[in-house]
Structure 1
Amino acid sequence: MSIFSMEGNRLVFRYDAEKLWIEPWGVNSLRIRSTKMAEMPVENWALSEPVKECKADIVITDKQASITNGKIKATISNYGRMTLYNQKDEVLLDEYIRNRLDLKADYCSALEIEAREFRPILGGDYELSLRFVSNPNERIYGMGQYQQPYLNLKGVDLELAHRNSQASVPFAVSSLGYGFLWNNPAVGRVTFGKNITTWHAVSTKILDYWITAGDTPAEIEEAYADVTGKVPMMPEYGLGFWQCKLRYQTQEELLSVAREYKKRNLPIDVIVIDYFHWPTQGEWKFDLTYWPDPDAMIAELKEMGIELMVSIWPTVDYRSENFQEMKENGYLIRTDRGFRIGMDYQGNTIHYDATNPDARKYVWDKAKKNYYDKGIKVFWLDEAEPEYSVYDFDNYRYHLGPNVQIGNIYPAMYAKTFFDGMKQEGQEDIVNLLRCAWAGSQKYGALVWSGDIHSSFFSMRNQVAAGLNMGMAGIPWFTTDIGGFHGGNPDDPEFRELLVRWFEYGTFCPVMRLHGERQPMKPQYGTTGGATCLSGADNEVWSFGEEAYEICKTYLQIRENMRSYTRTLMEEAHKKGTPVMKTLFYQFPEDEKAWEVEDEFCFGSDILVAPVLYENMRSRDVYLPVGTRWVNVWTEEVLDGGQTISVEAPISKIPLFKREGSKVKIL
């Protein structure tokens, strides 16, 4: 029996216990799966979208087999080594294998290292490693958001797991002209080393990845969106300014802030009720002690043209009125050892199991009755990783399996909980704010923010890289806590400078949102429900002194002026999967210098933004890409592309340029 065979449109390789499938999966793309189980697992995970059928060209000879789908080709030798090429026969990826099965091969070695290594777990499944030869000159982008400053991820080691402020979205775009999806929700790591690239899963039944070849980053990104899904159309209230803080404690406090925005004639689209507005975690309803008339509150806000967003937590307190019923029905995450507690913040809690469809329906039904039916159409799905007090990933078990095998899919299923419910109610343009994502989360209307980050310029620099890499990872909707989350005293001149610079940057994020836990904390209000969860200091645009207020007003108006332009960017994301914030090389892939710039970005196609990322900086160098002339928005000076210039950046002005001839209104 030959080790190679053709099953329809699929090339199959069998050797010993391994079965390997290579098949077309969309235009110019291949899906590659391997297992040592009795049958190939059937889950599609992120690859959930119907794809265009492509006829593969499969060739089998005595010594190797190949499969070609448009611009991509895979070859596999009779000893199992696989190499992937583009349409120019240039190597995209070459498996790293070192053994003596073929004494004439260039990889012949006594090291005995497998490219596709399934290391058995005693009595269970497999620990998996996949290795590729690394091109040291390659640049790699995407992979979600990590709290580090590097846009180019070559040489970086990343945990494939979620934590507060860390979202593992395992799609990478290479400067060599390919996109690679690690289609496995297991906890693991990836190392983009100088000599070897290694993908690792702690526990799994399958190796599963998808690869596409493209001539530009845009072609690659759009191919990925075709197979994993695209964001809905952003609703109109997603285009403007969102006001938020930790936390408005009462109905009257929140309404007074909304009224003040209107009194001052300041643009505002959304205002947010943060956590612990509920009686107990896991009840998903207003605490009427502090929010006595939600219907009247929502009606007044709608009359002002403001949408209300409310915080949802997935945690269920043992004291919750829903705990026993949810436990009896198997709607809660389990622990393999110790007490069944996932978080101990403000109570002993465990999260609802978003991988269980019945649990998803249960939680949505509660939220629908207590929020949605009252007119709330946008939710803040917090704690989406989910966050644990202790990140013992091997201790938690879900409906779909152990956390170490499938846990990274949790934030996508959390988003799906609300997306499916809202869709069933007839809502089309859906956006919900989440603190985490996995591959495919975008199709469930996930607007991802970068979590509980520090209020510092160091942290702000990390967010620029995080936002751009989230876009490259296929998540077009991204935002941050303007000013950072942890700390920041509104009366501190140093924090005021940071707040202003972050506000300027936030104006050109996909969603502009002010949030944070400002210091000092306010006194406790009340004694019941969530009262012990204190409120931070004021966090409205007028809270940081007159100079900062005047600057914030300017940028609120800029955001409003750009509304029609921003709407077109959201349409592009909805139709093609295009990032709203783009790296320079995404927009100008032929410009070699654009691939090196990590602290500028394009807001859409027409606007170039160069945020000020250091304290006391009043000028900075800006690279203007080749291919167009650029207009300094503040001075109207016209400049040629392909040069680096020094730009003045007084505290009130972020370096900002638009393409010559662009009709977008900014000032």
Structure 2
Amino acid sequence: MRVSRTLLRVSEGADYADLFTDAARYRIYLMTDDIIRIRCSFSDEFGKEGSYALAMAAWDDELAAGDPDRVRIEGLPVRFEDQGAQLTAATRSLRLIVHKQPFAFEIRDADGTVLHKDVPEKGFVQDKLGRLYHYSAMDANDHYYGFGEKTGKLNKRSRRLRMRNVDTIGYDSEYTDPLYKHIPFYIKWNGSSRKATGMFYHNSYESVFDVGSERSGYWTPYTYFCADGGELDLFFMNGPRLQDVVRRYTDLTGKTIMPTKYSLGYMGSTMYYTELDRNADQAVLGFVERCKEEGIPCDGFFLSSGYTTGKDGKRYVFNWNRDRFPDPEAFIRSLKEAGAALAPNIKPGMLLTHPLYQEFDKAGAYIKDSEGVKPETDRYWGGAASFVDFTNPAGRELWKKHLKSSFISLGVTSIWNDNNEYEIQNEDAKCHYEGAGKGIDALRPVLPNLMARAAKEAIAEEAPDVRPYIVNRAGFAGIQRYAQTWAGDNNTSWKSLKYNIPVILGMGLSGVANQGCDIGGFFGPAPEPELFVRWVQNGIFQPRFSIHSCNTDNTVTEPWMYPAYTPYVRDAIRLRYRLVPYFYSLLREAAEAGSPVMRPLVYEFENDPNVWEESFDFMLGSSILVANVLEPGAAVRQVYLPQGCEWIDWWSGKRYAGGQTIEVPVDIGSIPMFIRSGAVIPLAEGLHNIHNDVVEELKLLIEPSQSSSFTVYDDDGVSNQFKHGNYLKTTVGVKAGSRTELSFGYEGSYDSPVKRIVVELMCSRIAPIQIELQGGKLPLYLDRRDWEASEAGWYYDMERKAALIKYVRPLQEYSVAVDFGVKDLISI
């Protein structure tokens, strides 16, 4: 075992410093005032800089060339001050302290608060098997969030978590570990200092986090990270808020790719249809038509891999089964005419009997065996297979060639990447790694990222102005730059319904804002009616909303599977479509700031100790608290409303003070939702198809008792023209007071189809006395029918306790003033 115990010397470069110890060497980068990189190697030299995961670097990276997602910044100079027993280097926000003996790093903020501290005499370790360890001191009041796609409750303290991509069909969402994603990043929230920090380990070998599960009486309480190989390459991120940490982490690994607008619609799916012997295409088209008949909005269909089945019953990627899909191009065209996009399932493993196997082999496109000569083979769906090597330019180009010919040339720009965990058992199998060569054990979780990147590039090359929609099951840090993700093949159970929520929330805190789970459950018998309804009511708040199943009882999960319960399913999905402008604005926020869409309460209310352990209630954006019914037979739902604001029941309009637990009666149709004071929520009433419907009237639900602002984002939803300024941001500002001011500022050149604005202004105490638009009085209507027939004006809804304000959307920046003064009718 090798342990760094003593600092021997320091060498300062132009933008980094090297530290030499008795066991390892370290390279320090002060990337920004709030991000510090500490690179540790137990070899004589550091490896070459070559990262597929990082989107931002303060050094030259061999893999950055030609990647439009990469940003090169200038780091800060690293100058250490020798203070005897320790060295210090500082930014405006942080102070890095190097203890000479015993060797250890400590990081403090400008206030002197200790944010991170290595365990002295045990900070950086390499064991006799070559595994690398980093031990960090743990405070009694530390909470740990993130770690990517992990089961169980939100706070991972006292857990041991394995990082490896695995196909975990039918997993237990409370206990199974690992799952499909490998994201070695976490956020630490200290309840005493009320400060958050982040730690990202830039290492794609299989690894383990021990978050205080292990204890020893000889050492201070600790956590550790252990990787099977590579280097200990860690990035420390300052807060002090959780939101700051997430923003900095996504600065480092990339923001969420801006999705197509239609991806927010209901995406139908089931394995059942594509397994029909013949005319599966008609089953899919019939599903879309049935949605219309049932009044259920639908905007796409995820096509399961049965469409690729060959004559021998095995699945062959890029192969269309002509019995099931006689004319793929006509099928895709018909689906598009019906207002639905097609997302075909593709897999990177190619069976040895695949018709294209030899073409890929001849191109050298597969991951190779231990000698680097023959394709490595391993078990896969249907038998032995070889796996496309996306670190090989030849593999990427051949893959893109077939993506184009099989799908993109037919009009498909939505790609569903599945079964891409690369569970190759031979850890000595070789990847091309851009010609440098590297073992699969070092690159396994990166390959699904590169698979998604290849799909993005293929669409850009074939249809450059079309925005791609890519969905991935597996992935590594940075997967959000390329794809939406989902939590794989979940089990059909009440437990999955409940515990998939913190799985998704943890992913959001790990930079992956656009994700979800299979609604209704993927693996198991058909969900019982109550469970199915509750799952749909929960699923409508997930960025990816798809009912998808592989039922084990010869059934298919469909929205109308229980006719007596279909109205509840329909109502929930229609609520989802009302919220599309809000969702789209939140996804733009994710693309710019890295913010999650579904947010744990601690993300918005970190100073309220009552939410530090909350795993199941969540915020949709900053304005809506969702407390879904997650237990069978429930008649009431207890909900804790966080401190610092008021809360308004979405349905009844009843107001509650924050900082209390309330009890809400529920029935089978209940979706408990609460509006935060100061909220601005854009809505689209009557939207049924995102592809074809034009939203000419935008509704804004505004709670004005607290000053706030929100940016409503819109663009054409399908092209890349938003990158060139063809978007519209409408920043709605709320200035609270007896004369409440609503301001509307514009940015961008998009010619919005919105012609009318309807503001539902929630009134906490009294009705307005007067409302002005750009200084001119809007007429007051006492009869709602007159207001509805008018072009502009306002009406006070006594039942909702809200002022309904309507007007033609001004094309320039404007304001609305609402006077809440009391009119004295007696003295008149």
The TM-score with structure 2 as length reference comes to: 0.72
Contact 2:17 2:78 in 1 (8 A): no
Equivalent in 72, 78, 88 of residue 100 of structure 2: 78
Offset from partner CA, 1:164-212 (integer Å, 9 cap, x none): 25122111111032111011001011101162211111122x1101111
Contact 1:441 1:475 in 2 (8 A): yes
Alignment match, 1:178: 197
Q: SS at 1:569's partner residue? A: helix
Alignment match, 2:335: 301
2:452 matched to 1:415? yes
Q: SS at 1:209's partner residue? A: strand
Distance 1:636 1:498 in 2: 27
Contact 2:636 2:666 in 1 (8 A): yes
Q: Which has the higher contact order (CA 8 A, sep 6+)?
A: 1
Gaps spanning 5+ residues in structure 1: where? 99-113, 522-536
Measure how far apart 1:350 and its partner are: 2.4
Measure how far apart 1:51 and its partner are: 5.1
Q: SS at 2:397's partner residue? A: helix
Equivalent in 162, 167, 170 of residue 164 of structure 1: 167
Alignment match, 1:451: 488
Alignment length (residue pairs) = 622
Alignment match, 1:501: 534
Distance 1:94 1:45 in 2: 29
The amino acid of 1:458's aligned partner reads K
Greater alpha carbon shift after TM alignment, 325-334 vs 469-478: 325-334
Alignment of 1:327-366 (within 5 A): 327-336=361-370, 340-366=376-402
Q: SS at 2:477's partner residue? A: coil
Alignment match, 1:226: 251
The amino acid of 2:113's aligned partner reads E
The amino acid of 2:635's aligned partner reads R
Q: SS at 2:305's partner residue? A: coil
Q: SS at 1:277's partner residue? A: helix
Contact 2:137 2:222 in 1 (8 A): yes
Distance 1:175 1:661 in 2: 26
Greater alpha carbon shift after TM alignment, 67-76 vs 235-244: 67-76
Alignment match, 1:12: 18
Alignment match, 1:466: 503
2:349 matched to 1:315? yes
Contact 2:260 2:467 in 1 (8 A): yes
Alignment match, 2:360: 326
Q: SS at 1:247's partner residue? A: helix
Q: SS at 1:199's partner residue? A: strand
The amino acid of 1:48's aligned partner reads A
Offset from partner CA, 1:114-145 (integer Å, 9 cap, x none): 32112354xxxx32111111213200111111
The alpha-carbon distance between structure 1 residues 36 and 619, as it changes in their structure 2 partners (threshold 3 A), is same
2:282 matched to 1:260? no
Measure how far apart 1:339 and its partner are: 10
2:551 matched to 1:518? yes
The TM-score with structure 1 as length reference comes to: 0.89
Alignment match, 2:734: none
Distance 1:582 1:19 in 2: 39
Alignment match, 1:133: 137
Distance 1:369 1:18 in 2: 51
Equivalent in 45, 50, 54 of residue 43 of structure 1: 50
Q: SS at 1:244's partner residue? A: strand
Contact 2:142 2:189 in 1 (8 A): yes
The alpha-carbon distance between structure 1 residues 187 and 651, as it changes in their structure 2 partners (threshold 3 A), is same
Distance 1:635 1:581 in 2: 23
The amino acid of 2:529's aligned partner reads R
Measure how far apart 1:508 and its partner are: 0.5
The percent of aligned pairs where both chains have the same amino acid is 25
Alignment match, 2:148: 144
Q: SS at 1:3's partner residue? A: strand
What's the C-alpha RMSD, in Å, of the aligned pairs?
2.2
Measure how far apart 1:427 and its partner are: 4.4
Measure how far apart 1:666 and its partner are: 8.8
2:440 matched to 1:440? no
Equivalent in 607, 631, 634 of residue 617 of structure 1: 634
Alignment match, 1:102: none
Offset from partner CA, 1:369-424 (integer Å, 9 cap, x none): 11011111111100122356xxx463644333223223221221221121222233
Measure how far apart 1:47 and its partner are: 2.1
Alignment match, 1:538: 556
2:571 matched to 1:554? yes
The alpha-carbon distance between structure 1 residues 506 and 207, as it changes in their structure 2 partners (threshold 3 A), is same
Distance 1:258 1:511 in 2: 18
Larger-gyration structure (1/2): 2
2:410 matched to 1:374? yes
Measure how far apart 1:366 and its partner are: 0.4
Greater alpha carbon shift after TM alignment, 554-563 vs 18-27: 18-27
Greater alpha carbon shift after TM alignment, 245-254 vs 220-229: 245-254
Equivalent in 77, 88, 93 of residue 111 of structure 2: 88
Q: SS at 1:432's partner residue? A: strand
Gaps spanning 5+ residues in structure 2: where? 1-6, 57-70, 169-178, 191-195, 214-220, 275-279, 686-828
Measure how far apart 1:297 and its partner are: 1.1
Distance 2:302 2:9 in 1: 60
Q: SS at 2:127's partner residue? A: strand
Q: SS at 1:180's partner residue? A: strand
